[in-house]
Amino acid sequence: MMVVLMVGALSLLSMFRLGLFDPSRLFLASKNIMQFFAEIFPPQLDLLPTLSRAIGETIQMSFTGTALGFLMSLPLAFWGARNLFGRLVGAVVRLVVSGIRTIPSILFGVIFVIAFGLGPTAGTLGVAFYTVGYLAKLYYEAFEAVDPEVIEAVKTTGCNRLQLFRFVILPETANTIISQLLFMFEYNIRASTIMGFVGAGGIGYYMVGYVQMLQYQHLLTALLLTFLVVMMIDYFSFQIRSVVHHHSLSR
Amino acid sequence: MMKTIPLQDPPESFPKDYPEAILNAKDIWHSYDGRSYVLRGITMELREGFFTMVLGRSASGKTTLVKVLANILKPVRGKVHLLTRQKASPRPIAYIPQNLGLVRNLTAWDNVMIGALGYTTTLKSLVPRFDRKLSAKAQEILMALGVADKADQKIWHLSGGERQRVAIARALMQNPQIILADEFVSQLDPVTSMEILNIMKKLTQSGIAFLITTHDVALVKKYANRVIIMKNGEIHSEHTSMDFSLEDLMDEIR
């Protein structure tokens, strides 16, 4: 009870200090928002050809970035699985992977814009590295969850680690691998949009430009288009994943 | 009372020309936590063509013993010596764990071919492209075990008895001299387990040493020609003749 009261008091205090109780500021803010919503309509449909090309670029960045990240994460997860390579190698891979995960995707975007200049090349690589940070972790955890009894039994046949990976680890984790990959692609559509904010290609580049030029009607058009595309990809990805999931339940 | 049988001094019931030992375990101690011992000074050997059953109640150390013999666990003390001819079989010990250790997402055929991995180069097995000789052998084994028609089925479509046969087929692909099986046929119905044990009995007649752990006393009497009774991580007694009653055996396990 004391704890609840204290947490309540603390949150009230911080809300006050953040200016959420200042009536004059609240009034001004609501007026500004109303004006923003008045200016944002209607969407500019004549921008659709340009923006469609841009969001096509975003989808490409997401797709290629996810694929590249996936290819890099598989060997990392292979080395990172402690039931295959032991604790020491596992710890090194964990260090590398969590290091990659610490860096926000947008910072990867900045780094690759510095290296490759403005455009989708930088964005694609940014998405790829961001993907590695997550997929490698999800995958080595899935690999480590494979039934040790199966691994022990297969090891007595005298197979090496690569054979063990091919004949036990991959088939036992195939469903996880595919469904996480699809989820990552779905998620990376959003990550690729953000990439544009730092000039790394795609529709985000236009969005940030519209905000700076105060062209809110153009911004709304870009947002609505992105919303539509994200919805569509989420839907298809969900369909594919439920097929994969259903398949795994039929054991 | 401890009644282990020393190697140098075979009991009366061993045949005069009893076969050579192919595996020799001496004074095996094992502990998982470094405090309490699961195995306490096990000394035993495996001989060609013997069907050995290790009997004991739960937590008597049977599974640990099998894992030590299969070289999956390294004992805290003591050593397991393989006395097999390396040339005859480079992978002399096959191990079938309690839940068989089959890869559920692969077909029966792929699972059987896993037994041949030790005889295949990495590159060939990754494609996978196994030598024709190995494929022919796998086909032969599956036919002999009566599951050739299930070769293309994934493991989760197979019945318990069929899975057990696939596990045996995988073990045989290794060309083993010893097959170790933990809680073998424990999960099968009586008729199916008798079928499987008949297959194993035939295999031991071809010279394979077969060791299974079980708690099914009736099966022991029908199939084994050697019984080891374990209690609290020790070998309580060993029999190579089956001239005792079921009741005697059950009393001994208790």
Q: What CATH number belongs to A47-249?
A: 1.10.3720.10
Partner B contacted by A155 (CB < 8 A): yes
What percent of chain B is modeled with pLDDT above 90? 26
Partner A contacted by B99 (CB < 8 A): yes
User: A92 to chain B, minimum CA–CA distance in Å?
Assistant: 26
pLDDT per position as a tens digit, A6-46: 999 999 888 888 877 778 888 888 888 888 888 777 877 78
Name all domains of chain B by residue range, CATH numbers in brackets.
21-253 (3.40.50.300)
- Of B90, B97, B122, Cβ closest to residue A153: B97
DSSP string, A3-49: HHHHHHHHHHHHHHHTTTT-HHHHHHHHHHHHHHHHHHPSP-GGGHH
Q: What is the pLDDT of residue A140?
A: 95
Q: Please name the residues in contact with A125: beta carbons below 8 A apart, sequence gap of 6 or more.
A: A65, A68, A108, A112, A116
Partner B contacted by A212 (CB < 8 A): no
Check B95 against A153: CB less than 8 A apart.
Answer: yes
Query: Which residues 170-199 on chain B approach chain A with CB closer than 8 angstroms?
Result: 170, 173-174
Partner A contacted by B42 (CB < 8 A): no
Query: So where are chain A's domains?
Result: 47-249
Q: What is the pLDDT of residue B240?
A: 78
Mean pLDDT per 10-residue segment, chain B (254 residues): 42 56 88 89 88 87 92 90 72 90 92 89 83 89 89 91 92 91 84 86 86 82 85 86 73 77
Q: Reply yes or no on whether the pLDDT at A246 is more than 70.
A: no
Q: What is the pLDDT of residue B3?
A: 43
Question: Within a 10 A sphere around the Cβ of B230, how many other Cβ atoms?
Answer: 22
pLDDT per position as a tens digit, B97-111: 999 999 999 999 999
Partner B contacted by A145 (CB < 8 A): no
Per the structure block, which two tokens stand in for A31? 């007026």
- Of B202, B199, B222, B200, give the one whose Cα is nearest residue B212: B200
Q: What is the ipTM of this complex?
A: 0.84
pLDDT per position as a tens digit, B194-243: 888 888 888 888 888 999 998 777 777 788 888 898 988 888 888 877 66
Q: Where are the alpha helices (DSSP H) in B104-242?
A: 108-114, 122-126, 132-145, 160-173, 190-205, 217-223
Q: What is the pLDDT of residue B15?
A: 52
